[in-house]
Each structure stands twice: as C-alpha cells, then as structure tokens.
Structure 1
C-alpha cells in the first residue's frame, strides 16, 4: 500500500489531444457525445445561459449603488502619538506599529489627551487633533502619501550607495 508521502506526483499533466483517430483514444466524437448543441463546433454560451429561459439570471437582483475602489484611510488615534517625538510621518507611524503600511493615506483622529510636542506630517487630521497639537506646542502639515518604489528603483538606489 502506498503512502501519501511516497506518491509519484507529476506537477504538469499534458492535455488530452482529442479528435486524432480511434487508436488515440479520443477519436470520432472527441468526448462530446453524440449530436445536440454541445456537440457542435462554435458553441459558445454565456455562463448563465439556460436554454433561452431566464432562470437564475432574473432571480438575482442587479447590484445597485456605488462601491468605491479607493482604499479607506488608515486611522491613528491621537492618544497613541504621546510616545513619539520630533517629526512624525507615515514611516515613523509604521515603525511604531500604528499603521499597516506607510504607503497609504493616514488620518489622525482625536481620542484621549495629546501631550506630545510633535510635528505631524500626514495626509489628514481632524480639527480637534490640530488644535490639540498646537496647544501642546506642535504643528500639523498635510503631505501626500509616499509612493512605493518599484524593485528596480530600490535596486538602483542600493547600487548608488
């Protein structure tokens, strides 16, 4: 009895060549059965086609409304900024594990008390956060989200160093 770890598995199985004669094993009707719409050449039907009746197509409602393709902004709460110092941008927030990636839009929203004197450089901040920053002696500057470098650009930059 063979075990799973001893099976001889072929990762690429060559496709079956049909319509090449009786001895080839896929001759005459070439696996299409006999007669009917499915046996004909040029038979291309839609995925939802049910022989002319509407069936499932009319049963499924149309998708209405609008779905935005823009990724939602990553949210950072202002009380999480208290441990940071100096200039805080997307990369500083990423290194502090406050956001998932530095290359998406970041918005800072007010929660708790903000006491850190920092210069915040992100894509957005609520009015109450900006007021709290200025009260603590810091400032806010709206900047564009940094673009991610391609592998080629990063490689060229490494070679330049």
Structure 2
C-alpha cells in the first residue's frame, strides 16, 4: 500500500444532494421543501423553543434557584470528627489526609455538632461561634 493509493471504502462517501437543478433530477422546482409556508422560504424558520405562538415551555415553568459552583471548594467538619481524629494540631492538609474533607476543599469550617473533650488547635480553619466556644472550653484554640 502506498500513500497515493489510499482511498475511502466503496460507498463511504456519497455525493451531496444538488437541489433545484431541473425536473429530471427529482429535486427540481421546490427542491424538496414542499409548497409554500414558512419552512419553504429562504431564511424563514423559527427560533429554538418556538411553539407557534403558544407560551413556550421554558417560559411556562417557574424560575427556581441558583447553585454556586464555589460551593464545591467549601467543606464542613464536626466536633465529633475532630474528637475521633485525635490530633493536637489540625490544619487543612491533616483533614485531607484523614479523608474528612474532599481534596478539592479550600475553605473548611468546624461546626458545632457533637462534643469535644480534647484540646485541639486549629490552623487555617474557621469555626462557627458555637464550635469556637466548645473548642476553647476544651482547652483548644482557633487561629
């Protein structure tokens, strides 16, 4: 086989339809567009979603909500999870290695769910007002 002898398989390429080229072609006169009407005219068609003047579906349905894509980078950790983790100092990397937050997470916040008995120092991690109070009551700190 040589480069100059390569060609597509038989029947793989078909000649394009040449419309409006006389009565003998079978596609003359109206060129496959039928008679009259909007679809027969050049440039005549409707926009996407047009339903002939009826109120289109995207306008009949109510508008509802919005979900920010930035939420993917936020994560929550409970006091119970910190208790089970058992580390004296907790930062974002430690939480990711423990599998408590996703690898995508950039902003982590501790929420008050459960209780904490050990002193835990948080580095680069936020906490809610209640969680902060619980951590400081256990002898820890939020930096």
Give 3-state SS (helix, strand or coil) of 1:133's partner. Answer: helix
Q: For this pair of structures, how many residues does the alignment match?
A: 125
Aligned pair 1:75/2:80, yes or no? no
The alignment status of 1:63 with 2:63, answered yes or no, reads yes
User: Which of 99, 119, 133 is the equivalent residue of 2:101?
Assistant: 99
Question: Over the residues paired in the alignment, what is the CA RMSD in angstroms?
Answer: 3.5
Q: TM-score, structure 2 length as denominator?
A: 0.63
* Aligned partner (choices 113, 124, 127) of residue 126 of structure 2: 124
Paired position in structure 2 for 1:19? 18
* Equivalent-residue separation in structure 2 for 1:87 and 1:14 (angstroms): 68
**Structure 1 residue runs without a partner (length 5+):** 1-12, 142-161
Q: TM-score, normalised by structure 1?
A: 0.57
Task: Tell me if structure 1 keeps the 8 A contact 2:38–2:45.
Answer: no
Distance (whole Å) between structure 2 residues aligned to residue 106 and residue 15 of structure 1: 59
SS in structure 2 opposite 1:71? Answer: helix
Distance 2:93 2:15 in 1: 53
Q: Distance in 2 between matches of 1:129 and 1:55?
A: 51
Shift of 1:136: 2.6
Deviations 1:75-120 (A, max 9, x none): 2111111223143222211211111234343221112221233221
Runs of 4 or more off by more than 6 Å in structure 1? 13-16
Secondary structure at 2:51's aligned position in 1? coil
State the alpha-carbon separation in 1 of the partners of residues 131 and 123 from structure 2. Answer: 13
- Structure 2 stretches of 5 or more lacking a match? 1-11
